[in-house]
């Protein structure tokens, strides 16, 4: 593979490329879904290929599944031709921010390779949780999911970098569905839409104890059937950690992608309200809001040692003491606004996609509010909302609405009852400026979002969002879905 990559880079240079890089990726995966005590789907597979990117006036990209010299040469020629064609559309030349040459090997943190665990053991965990959910009267459907990925990635660049990375990613989650009173409700653990995802091995499944939480979420799903609707009005809202993660993803992660701010994503994923004139000037949130992009976060889903441009993983501020101070960038977008180095935020879904600016682990630093229990006790009149059910946000990431699985009313520091179909909405900067309390490190979780969509053609990406529960004042709330 080394020789094949080197030959590809040399050919690109011979054809006029100023810069070239090659990614050689082999991946195997397994995805399991159960419904009640049956296997709903059980998929596994392998994929392998080579992606070649060149800078020859403009960017060009091509890929192949064939590990032959002829196939790779053909892909190189296609990439160079595309680069020369795209150059005709540029207003000014593309410049790359400098990056040192790296020659490194890295393996993502894990204790147990999930591909060494038998299928029967994996199903036993999901079925045990299903039995406990189904034992609760009123539960009509018990769902479970697990996914496992092992990816080996080699990176070579014309600048001399040679990087070998291996990723192991795992996930698990369960969901209890209840029907009754002309209504349908669900509760998920540890998060909705597949559960929790991380750079981790089989040990992740034990950490989240699906069986130990199955009866509780089933009981909550049933209780929601007869719970009152969420009241409408303005309340202080305590947002659970997993939802803070999604709030970060949609209203901070995406708008801080520099390619969006520069208009490169306008045709598909929209632009960003965080335009470059706001950098260092906009009060994005209250003084306690500190948002960082940390690709080095141990075990978090968006972590790595080097991005798909060969830029070393970094931790840097996006919002510091409430002020907007940084973008997620690539080598070319960083240079375009005068930065001396890329933020190392370029990745591709697989070998057959061109790398683009993506979120790493964009998280909210913990605060001083202590535990969730402490935060509830300090709340005069509010609603605690947990676990996302639906979301909507405009194409500039400014106006949003989130529907949640469950809510609890709080009066004078005490939970007084459950409410169903809670939702909250707001304007990004107003919402983050209303943040008056953030729980501490004891509540801090590196939440994973595995399905972030972006690009043309569309590609998904695994991102991380470390967060603790947080309180926001005077937020508009209401009913997300009347059932």
Residue 268 scores a pLDDT above 80: no
Residue whose pair of structure tokens reads 């909507």 in the numeric block: 392
Q: How far apart are CA 156 and CA 76, in angstroms?
A: 14
The secondary structure of residue 471, as a DSSP letter, is E
The secondary structure of residue 310, as a DSSP letter, is S
Residue 482 scores a pLDDT above 60: no
Q: Which two tokens stand for residue 154?
A: 């080699």
Residue whose pair of structure tokens reads 């069986």 in the numeric block: 211
Specify whether the backbone of 474 is left (phi greater than 0), alpha (psi in -120 to 50) or beta: left
Q: How far apart are CA 275 and CA 192, in angstroms?
A: 32
pLDDT tens-digit readout, 68-123: 999 999 999 999 999 999 999 998 999 999 999 999 999 999 999 999 999 999 99
Burial of 147 (C-beta count, 10 Å sphere; 0-12/13-18/19+): buried
Residue whose pair of structure tokens reads 């196939």 in the numeric block: 71
Percent above pLDDT 90 for the chain: 95
3-class secondary-structure state, position 40: strand
- CA-based nearest residue to 156, from 20, 251, 280, 65: 20
pLDDT at res. 360: 98
pLDDT tens-digit readout, 19-44: 999 999 999 999 999 999 999 999 99
pLDDT tens-digit readout, 341-354: 999 999 999 999 99
Peptide bond just before 457 cis, omega within 30 deg? yes
Residue 443 scores a pLDDT above 60: yes
- CA-based nearest residue to 353, from 28, 128, 21, 61: 61
pLDDT tens-digit readout, 355-399: 999 999 999 999 999 999 999 999 999 999 999 999 999 999 999
Q: Given pLDDT bands bounded at 50, 70 and 90, which one contains residue 266?
A: confident
Q: Which two tokens stand for residue 138?
A: 């009123």
Q: Given pLDDT bands bounded at 50, 70 and 90, which one contains residue 181?
A: confident
CA dihedral 283, 286, 287, 290 (to 10 degrees): -90
Cβ-contact 353, 458 below 8 angstroms: no
pLDDT tens-digit readout, 290-345: 999 999 999 999 999 999 999 999 999 999 999 999 999 999 999 999 999 999 99
The secondary structure of residue 132, as a DSSP letter, is H
* Helix axis angle, 119-134 to 210-226, nearest 10°: 30
> How far from each other are the two terminal CA atoms of the chain, in whole angstroms?
56
Specify whether the backbone of 437 is left (phi greater than 0), alpha (psi in -120 to 50) or beta: beta
Cβ-contact 151, 26 below 8 angstroms: yes
Average pLDDT over the chain, rounded to whole?
A: 96
Segment 193-202 shows an average pLDDT of 98
The secondary structure of residue 138, as a DSSP letter, is T
With a CB cutoff of 8 Å and minimum separation 6, the contacts of 45 are: 28, 29
Q: Which residues make beta-bridge pairs with 316?
A: 293
Residue 219: count of CB within 10 angstroms of its CB: 18
Segment 188-210 shows an average pLDDT of 98
Cβ-contact 130, 374 below 8 angstroms: no
With a CB cutoff of 8 Å and minimum separation 6, the contacts of 456 are: 267, 268
pLDDT tens-digit readout, 43-57: 999 999 999 999 999
Residue 483 scores a pLDDT above 90: no
The yes/no answer on whether domain 2-226 falls in CATH 3.40.630.40 is no
Q: Given pLDDT bands bounded at 50, 70 and 90, which one contains residue 481?
A: low
Task: In the chain, list all ranges with CATH 3.30.2290.10.
Answer: 2-226
């Amino acid at each position: 593979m080394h020789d094949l990559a080197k030959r590809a880079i040399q050919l690109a240079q011979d054809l006029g490329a100023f810069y070239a890089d090659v990614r050689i990726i082999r991946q195997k995966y397994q995805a399991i879904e159960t419904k009640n005590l049956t296997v709903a789907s059980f998929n596994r597979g392998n994929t392998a290929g080579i992606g070649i990117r060149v800078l020859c006036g403009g960017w060009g990209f091509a890929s192949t599944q064939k590990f032959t010299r002829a196939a790779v040469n053909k892909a190189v020629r296609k990439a160079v031709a595309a680069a020369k064609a795209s150059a005709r559309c540029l207003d000014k030349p593309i410049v790359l921010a400098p990056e040192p040459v790296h020659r490194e090997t890295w393996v993502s943190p894990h204790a147990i390779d999930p591909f060494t665990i038998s299928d029967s053991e994996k199903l036993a965990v999901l079925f045990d949780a299903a039995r406990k959910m189904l034992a609760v009267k009123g539960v009509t459907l018990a769902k479970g999911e697990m996914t496992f990925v092992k990816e080996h990635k080699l990176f070579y660049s014309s600048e001399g970098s040679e990087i070998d990375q291996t990723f192991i990613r795992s996930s698990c989650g369960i969901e209890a569905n209840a029907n009754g009173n002309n209504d349908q409700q669900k509760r998920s653990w540890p998060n909705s839409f597949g559960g929790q995802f991380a750079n981790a091995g089989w040990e992740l499944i034990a950490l989240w104890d699906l069986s130990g939480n199955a009866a509780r979420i089933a009981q909550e799903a049933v209780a929601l059937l007869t719970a009152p609707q969420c009241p409408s009005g303005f309340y202080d809202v305590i947002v659970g950690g997993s939802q803070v993660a999604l709030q970060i993803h949609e209203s901070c992660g995406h708008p801080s992608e520099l390619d969006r701010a520069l208009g490169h994503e306008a045709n598909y994923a929209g632009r960003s309200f965080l335009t470059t004139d706001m950098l260092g000037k906009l009060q994005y949130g209250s003084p306690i809001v500190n948002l960082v992009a940390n690709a080095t976060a141990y075990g978090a889903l968006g972590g790595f040692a080097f991005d798909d441009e060969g830029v070393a993983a970094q931790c840097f501020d996006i919002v510091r003491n409430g002020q907007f101070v940084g973008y997620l960038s690539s080598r070319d977008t960083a240079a375009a606004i005068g930065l001396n180095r890329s933020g190392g935020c370029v990745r591709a879904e697989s070998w057959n996609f061109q790398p683009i600016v993506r979120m790493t682990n964009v998280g909210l630093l913990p605060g001083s509010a202590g535990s969730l229990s402490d935060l509830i006790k300090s709340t005069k009149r509010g609603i605690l909302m947990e676990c996302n059910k639906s979301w909507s946000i405009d194409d500039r990431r400014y106006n949003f609405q989130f529907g949640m699985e469950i809510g609890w009313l709080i009066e004078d520091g005490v939970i007084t009852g459950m409410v169903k179909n809670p939702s909250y909405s707001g304007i990004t900067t107003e919402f983050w400026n209303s943040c008056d309390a953030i729980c501490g490190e004891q509540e801090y979780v590196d939440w994973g979002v595995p399905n972030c969509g972006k690009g043309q053609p569309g590609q998904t990406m695994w991102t991380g969002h470390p967060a603790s529960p947080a309180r926001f004042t005077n937020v508009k709330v209401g009913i997300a879905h009347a059932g």
